[in-house]
Structure 1
Amino acid sequence: MLNDMKIGLSFILLFIIVVFGVNGQKSTSDLNQFPKEKTPEVIGLRIAEKFLNTSHSQYGNTRPPKPPTQITYPDVCTWLGGLWFAEATKDEELFNRFESRFLPLLRGETNMLPKANHVDNNVFGAVPLELFLKNGEQKYLDLGIKYADSQWKVPNDATSEQKQWAAKSYSWQTRIWIDDMFMITAIQAQAYRATKNREYVDRAAKEMVLYLDEIQLDNGLFYHSPEAHYSWGRGNGWMAVGMAEILRILPKDNPDRTRIMAGYQKMMSALLKYQENDGMWRQIIDDEEAWKETSATAMFTYAMITGVKEGWLKKKAYGAAARKSWLTLVDYINVDDELTEVCAGTNIMNSRDHYMNRPRIVGDLHGQAPLLWCATALLR
């Protein structure tokens, strides 16, 4: 009897050490348990509600000087994140509210549909495709596929450079800006999920390898473009999320999978090196004088959470990094459910001052969107 009690106590002690650590603290790599006010359910719902109760933005700015003339990509990213979050929490009412926000675009607000002529516009199709995946309505499939297909269908007014990219079987919208590796891969990945047609995901993977070869540095980070030699935070964030998302669905027999995984893991290793002690990353990742920026931090957190949960990254190191960044990141949300310290939309420029002096926006959807992605990833 005494021996049985000792064995039982030993198992309890072992459980406490594994879960809470030797000092009784919550395991630093635990991605399942968080303080009540910082759980993904609580944070995700706050950000989802904020989006649903805010008018359309103008490229992320929720307080534009003039009403927007079309749906812009930061709205798309937040919309998609909201749909993902509603599905992850099995909240049918919330999902329906996100769908209800979309329905006017099919009726009286068709003028708000973006033209399918640019990577930042074509990503719009990811939202109707997510709606189709939920309810199977043909109208959503037709709209989404139009944006996916047009990304590889060369228009009559294409430039000679665009035609050259298309001749090599890349998208005519190719421009080797790091942002593209979410914009292109997201819509193509969604089209694959909706249709099971390998053409969509295979060409997205081929495109990803092109960008990896062109702008990934030896240290694992990326330049914004071949003309802008700075490792801008959110630009790298688009790449991190783009690789994580395509790897989640890329068939194991795809010939580019190994290359993309290598690029992804190389980047994640670099991010561990440049993460600050509080869990944040900087506006220029490898510049110690740059300010700590939240949208990039959220994107890197998402990529690491996904990697740990998919088994691509070691939980001890990357789970700890993701947990630390999530717990710090949510402290940047103000009382109005707006993420602070978000870099404004940023074009390429080969100038350190250009990136260092970008405006810091409050509540910009460039930051709200990846918060929803992180909440969803933690719940998967």
Structure 2
Amino acid sequence: MNSNYPSGVTLNEQTIEGYATENYHSRSVMPRIALVCTNASVKPNADLFTEALKTLTAYVNEIAYIATNVDIPDHISYPPKGGFFFDTECQESRYLWRWITMAAPDLVIEIKSGLQNTVEISGLESKIDFTKIGTPLEKPGSLIQSLASGDGQTPGKIPGMTITSSISDIKDSLTKIVEHILDKGIERSLAGQELAKRAERSPLEVACILGNTYGFKLDEPINYIQGVAISGRLRLKKLDSSYKDPSANISDLVSFLKTEDGYEGNDGAGPNIAGMCWADELGQDTGDDSWNDLLVKAANTYEKVPRGRSPNPCHPDFGCEDMFYIATMLGRAFNFTGDTEYIESYVNFLLETKTQQPNGLFWHCRSTPYFWGRGNGFAALAFAEGLEYLPEHHPERDKLIEMHEKHMNAMRSHQLPNGMWTQLLDFPGTYQELSATCMTGYALAKGIRKGWLPKTLLESVHLAWEGCSKRISNKADLVDVCTGTGFQAKKSDYLYRAAEYGYDDRGGSMAIWFATEMELLNRHLNTK
């Protein structure tokens, strides 16, 4: 059976249709094919795609496939150079490229309508059996030839072919190719091999890769996007005795915050304050209570206000980011001091946001009614961090757990079959975003391990981990982390936020937290 698996969003903000077999994103060993039609607006091509999809569906128990019908002008060249996912000429080509490369099929079949039936192959020339089916493709800059070359942003080479055919002949042409694959077999693409290797790594292995790259700087004004990775390095040391103790290096890195001049200007807003989320862990590891004093000093930046008001420096509209900042810092301050005023402050904030909607998801803030992926990641983190420090007997604990579980179940219903969550959760086709998936995965892993989330969510967290691990290379390069994003005026503004590829502090921070928490969950489950 086919399920909806959109390949992107058009420049006029329409979801691009796409499909996947239920087994495509499993670890089955059957051949994987991507079927692509790139001239959707031309009726013969639309009909051709429909007929081709019917043909593949007949083999649903023997092959796995994804398929999409997208409208991209013939003059567009590949691989795309930047512009993910906001290129004003052809953002569709960016979506298509990422959709294919991160699905890493064994073969891409591009179909085009034409009176003369031809098959042109690329990346298959050394395969004698395939040279009997088609002739070499000689179109530099074409989708198929670029995928086969391994150029651009891709985990590896993916062979392919372009079939030009009439509607009446496409069934025979495609059947011949599928039967050939089933008879002779087809090797896993190099891209597929690379992603499979990434998925086989343990969370601890991935955490070590991240811990050797992220968490080594804290630029001023300090920010959580680097502070979380510093915390991640400290957590990693507790899990892996072979990882070099980072406490001395980190102490030197952040020592400027111990002076009044160094601290000044680094507590102006929530992101800055949360940039010190490592302070209690560093104090514990070094035995230096001055780091705990720094934590309390930062936490005391939040003003004390009556319930229902947003305390400075939180935004008055109760943004999802502030949910994370305040719960993370005040929860730690309570844990160190035992002062319940810290608890009441962040608990009241979480209960009074009034941004969780009946569907369980959170708006970005009260005046921004959009279900931003990372915004919901922030909300997930807020409850995970807040519940970590909230006493079992607290009268509002059950209410917070109820809100959190409702949110996590809503997130599960919006999760893609490959484990990822998207830039806009309720807009099918928006890009698959790494930081939102890491943040949600972290909250799921911690909640299941600690017992406030049900084990029925285990499948969701394992899917999230596999999706994220495939987007983290052995060099700690990352795939598609939404750039910094404040409250946006229009849904379109979220659609066109740039996706970072390669090194990214924000993504690296959330990834190392997820990796270390996933390692803890696996150890917890293995001791049961």
Normalised to the residue count of structure 2, the TM-score between the two structures is: 0.57
User: Aligned residues: percent identity?
Assistant: 25
Instruction: Indicate yes or no: 2:460 matched with 1:321.
Output: yes
Aligned residue number for residue 244 of structure 2: 93
Change (3 A) 1:329 1:101: farther
From 330, 333, 352, the equivalent of 2:472 is 333
Q: Per-residue deviation at 1:256?
A: 1.7
Q: What is the distance in 1 between the residues matched to 2:429 and 2:245?
A: 41
Aligned residue number for residue 294 of structure 1: 434
Change (3 A) 1:338 1:36: closer
Change (3 A) 1:365 1:192: same
Structure number with higher helix proportion: 1
Q: What is the distance in 1 between the residues matched to 2:320 and 2:438?
A: 17
Runs of 5+ unmatched residues, structure 1: 1-22, 24-33, 57-67, 154-164
Amino acid corresponding to residue 240 of structure 1 in structure 2: A
Q: Per-residue deviation at 1:55?
A: 4.4
Instruction: Indicate yes or no: 2:498 matched with 1:359.
Output: yes
After TM superposition, the structure 1 stretch with the greater mean CA deviation from structure 2, 274-283 or 327-336, is 327-336
Cα offsets for 1:224-280 (capped at 9, x unmatched): 012211100001101101101111221122122111111100001101110001111
3-state SS of 1:340 partner: strand
Change (3 A) 1:172 1:275: same
Aligned pairs (5 A) from 1:88-237: 88-90=239-241, 93-96=244-247, 99-106=250-257, 111=262, 114-152=265-303, 165=305, 171-175=311-315, 176-211=318-353, 214-237=354-377
Instruction: Indicate yes or no: 2:186 matched with 1:46.
Output: no
After TM superposition, the structure 1 stretch with the greater mean CA deviation from structure 2, 107-116 or 75-84, is 107-116
Amino acid corresponding to residue 50 of structure 1 in structure 2: T
Change (3 A) 1:90 1:190: farther
Q: Per-residue deviation at 1:111?
A: 3.6
Q: Per-residue deviation at 1:123?
A: 1.6
Q: What is the distance in 2 between the residues matched to 1:98 and 1:308?
A: 33
Does the 8 Å contact 1:339/1:367 carry over to 2?
A: yes
3-state SS of 2:208 partner: helix
Change (3 A) 1:49 1:36: same
Aligned residue number for residue 379 of structure 2: 239
Amino acid corresponding to residue 203 of structure 1 in structure 2: S
Amino acid corresponding to residue 311 of structure 1 in structure 2: G
Does the 8 Å contact 2:198/2:473 carry over to 1?
A: no
Q: Per-residue deviation at 1:75?
A: 0.8
After TM superposition, the structure 1 stretch with the greater mean CA deviation from structure 2, 181-190 or 132-141, is 132-141
Does the 8 Å contact 2:343/2:390 carry over to 1?
A: yes
Change (3 A) 1:350 1:377: same
Q: Per-residue deviation at 1:110?
A: 5.4
Q: What is the distance in 2 between the residues matched to 1:201 and 1:107?
A: 25
Does the 8 Å contact 1:224/1:348 carry over to 2?
A: yes
Runs of 5+ unmatched residues, structure 2: 1-27, 29-196, 521-528
Misfit runs of 4+, over 4 Å: 34-37, 106-110, 165-170
Does the 8 Å contact 2:198/2:470 carry over to 1?
A: no
Q: Per-residue deviation at 1:149?
A: 1.1
Does the 8 Å contact 1:124/1:147 carry over to 2?
A: no
Does the 8 Å contact 1:71/1:112 carry over to 2?
A: no
Q: Per-residue deviation at 1:85?
A: 2.3
Structure number with higher strand proportion: 2
Aligned residue number for residue 254 of structure 1: 394
Change (3 A) 1:377 1:335: closer
Change (3 A) 1:268 1:338: same
Aligned residue number for residue 221 of structure 2: 70
From 483, 488, 496, the equivalent of 1:344 is 483
Aligned residue number for residue 17 of structure 1: none
Q: What is the total number of aligned residue pairs between the two structures?
A: 322
Amino acid corresponding to residue 239 of structure 1 in structure 2: A
Greater Cα radius of gyration, structure 1 or 2:
2
Q: What is the distance in 2 between the residues matched to 1:167 and 1:327?
A: 40
RMSD between aligned residues: 2.5
3-state SS of 2:246 partner: helix
Cα offsets for 1:278-302 (capped at 9, x unmatched): 1111100111021111100111111
Q: Per-residue deviation at 1:83?
A: 1.8
Q: Per-residue deviation at 1:109?
A: 11
From 384, 394, 403, the equivalent of 1:263 is 403
Q: What is the distance in 2 between the residues matched to 1:359 and 1:35?
A: 25
Amino acid corresponding to residue 206 of structure 1 in structure 2: N
3-state SS of 2:213 partner: helix
